[in-house]
Amino acid sequence: MKKYNIAVVGATGMVGRTFLKVLEEMNLPVENYYLFASARSAGKTLQFLGKEYTILELDEHAFDRDIDIALFSAGGSTSEKYAPIAAAKGCVVIDNSSAWRMDPEVPLVVPEVNPDDIKWHKGIIANPNCSTIQAMVALRPLQLAYGIRRVIYSTYQAVSGAGMGGYADLENGIKGEAPKKFNHPIFNNCLPQIDVFLDNGYTKEEMKMVNETRKILGDDSMCITATTVRVPVFDCHSESINVELKKPFDLAELKAILAAAPGLVVQDDPANAFYPMAVTAKGKNETFVGRIRRDESIENGVNLWVVADNIRKGAATNAVQIASKLIEMWENGTIKR
Ligand code: NAP
Ligand code: 3JM
């Protein structure tokens, strides 16, 4: 099997460091790794695969090397500028930022859900928002079985989703210090604002969930609304998802469909207080679903509680799974390198 060269852009960040852990675990056929960050970290070293790697500065010439795949997680403006430069050099960018997700020329991929969209990439493949990814893993099987008319998302999102700065705000807030990353203290608090506010009164995070869900599930007519909330939890996003299906369902059958879905683990035994939680999802690559019950206020309604490690399945794991699928498609001739 051919071996490939992989770059990690933003290697020193919360997502970037998890990329390195997931890459160590997933054992892709890789010849060389190149780790990039800003001038702030260039020259520093990171331990990876038992070796010491020196961080390289990201600049216009970074992709002059023979790089097959670049995993980007260095913020929207970095992706906006450098992803086209990398793609022009023949490298396939798997981008974790929101910069390219809604571009009609860019596939937006959750490997368990729409892997075939990888086939029409033109050099950039987008990784969805963390909150969207875990919802897709749970909703796709229901869409295929019953059709989905409407979705109401209410999220409880960990501070790690706001990077190293988000983590520091909770750690320091516990000690009584003022926040630097968030507008308000996050310790002992819930912030009904993630990312900036838009003209329609929603936050950008909320509209990411609405628009990305429609694109990934391939249904622009799906009715979707979202309220996204930052909570004082270090790791893992939890989501209440209320779904209105198009067809009637049998609850036992619906649970069996979820239990058989790829990447999804059902944890649903209320009698024993067994359901998905942030503390049990931490460090895992799967998405967890529980509290599966009929919404008795509408016809064909169901409520779900969905939890995943936002930096793993919500970011690094999903991106590395895309890379793995891409390599598989190159190797079996589905798409040309
Ligand atoms: P973080 O902990 O703040 O890390 C940011 C990383 O970006 C660091 O490695 C930093 O390098 C690097 N960086 C910043 N500016 C750069 C520049 N001009 N050139 C090169 N590298 C630069 O943030 P994070 O949580 O890892 O998130 C990083 C990005 O990933 C986010 O901004 C977001 O777009 C995306 N993200 C996506 C998801 C998802 O759901 N898909 C989830 C979380 C984050 P230095 O060490 O040099 O500062
Ligand atoms: C998650 O540079 C930025 O503004 C990054 C903001 C950000 C994003 C984003 O919009 O790319 C922080 C955390 C995300 C995301 O996954 O959408």
The pLDDT, as a whole number, for residue 262 is: 98
Residue of 96, 100, 213 with the most ligand 1 atoms within 8 Å of its CB, for mutation:
96
The pLDDT, as a whole number, for residue 103 is: 98
The count of residues in the chain is 337
Asked if the model's pLDDT at residue 170 lies above 90, the reply is: yes
Q: What is the distance between the alpha carbons of residues 222 and 151, in angstroms, rounded to a whole number?
A: 8
Cβ atoms of 238 and 305 within 8 Å: the answer is yes
Angle between helix 130-146 and helix 204-217 axes, rounded to 10 deg: 40
Atom of ligand 1 nearest to the CA of 130: 40
Q: What is the distance between the alpha carbons of residues 280 and 57, in angstroms, rounded to a whole number?
A: 37
Query: How far is CA 270 from its chain centroid?
Result: 28
Residue percentage of the chain with pLDDT more than 90? 99
How much distance in Å is there from the Cα of 194 to the middle of ligand 2?
10
**Quick one: average pLDDT of 299-308?**
99
The pLDDT, as a whole number, for residue 1 is: 82
Asked if the model's pLDDT at residue 222 lies above 90, the reply is: yes
CB burial of residue 220 (10 Å; 0-12, 13-18, 19+): exposed
Go through 92-126 and write b for each residue having 16 or more CB atoms within 10 A of its CB, e for each that does not: bbbbbbbbbbeeeebbbbbbbbbbebbeebebbbb
How much distance in Å is there from the Cα of 99 to the middle of ligand 1?
13
**Quick one: average pLDDT of 157-167?**
97
Reported as a single tens digit per residue, the pLDDT across 289-299 is 999 999 999 99
Three-class DSSP category at 324: helix
Q: Indicate if ligand 1 lies below 6 Å from the C-beta of 163.
A: yes
**Sequence-ordered list of residues with C-beta below 8 angstroms from that of 18, at least 6 positions apart, any chain:** 311, 312, 315, 316, 317
Q: Identify whether 237 is a catalytic site residue.
A: yes
Q: What is the distance between the alpha carbons of residues 323 and 289, in angstroms, rounded to a whole number?
A: 26
The pLDDT, as a whole number, for residue 290 is: 99
Reported as a single tens digit per residue, the pLDDT across 14-49 is 999 999 999 999 999 999 999 999 999 999 999 999
Please tell me which residue in 91, 121, 236, 237 is annotated as part of the active site: 237
HEC per residue, 71-136: EECCCHHHHHHHHHHHHHCCCEEEECCCCCCCCCCCCECCCCCCHHHHHHCCCEEECCCHHHHHHH
Which tokens go with 298?
Answer: 């509408």
Reported as a single tens digit per residue, the pLDDT across 236-257 is 999 999 999 999 999 999 999 9
Three-class DSSP category at 52: strand
**Quick one: average pLDDT of 155-179?**
98
How much distance in Å is there from the Cα of 113 to the middle of ligand 1?
25
Please tell me which residue in 130, 190, 223, 236 is annotated as part of the active site: 130
Q: What is the distance between the alpha carbons of residues 210 and 213, in angstroms, rounded to a whole number?
A: 6
Reported as a single tens digit per residue, the pLDDT across 313-325 is 999 999 999 999 9
Nearest protein CA to atom 47 of ligand 1, as residue: 38
H or E segment and range at residue 166: helix 163-174
Residue percentage of the chain with pLDDT more than 70? 100
Q: What is the distance between the alpha carbons of residues 8 and 301, in angstroms, rounded to a whole number?
A: 42
Whose tokens are 């869900």? That residue is 213
Reported as a single tens digit per residue, the pLDDT across 72-121 is 999 999 999 999 999 999 999 999 999 999 999 999 999 999 999 999 99
Ligand 2 binding site (Cβ under 6 Å of any ligand atom): 75-77, 97-98, 129-130, 161, 208
Asked if the model's pLDDT at residue 162 lies above 90, the reply is: yes
Q: Indicate if ligand 1 lies below 6 Å from the C-beta of 301.
A: no
How much distance in Å is there from the Cα of 198 to the middle of ligand 2?
15
Q: What is the distance between the alpha carbons of residues 202 and 225, in angstroms, rounded to a whole number?
A: 9
Q: What is the distance between the alpha carbons of residues 29 and 26, in angstroms, rounded to a whole number?
A: 9
Residue of 97, 134, 313 with the most ligand 2 atoms within 8 Å of its CB, for mutation:
97
Nearest protein CA to atom 24 of ligand 1, as residue: 163
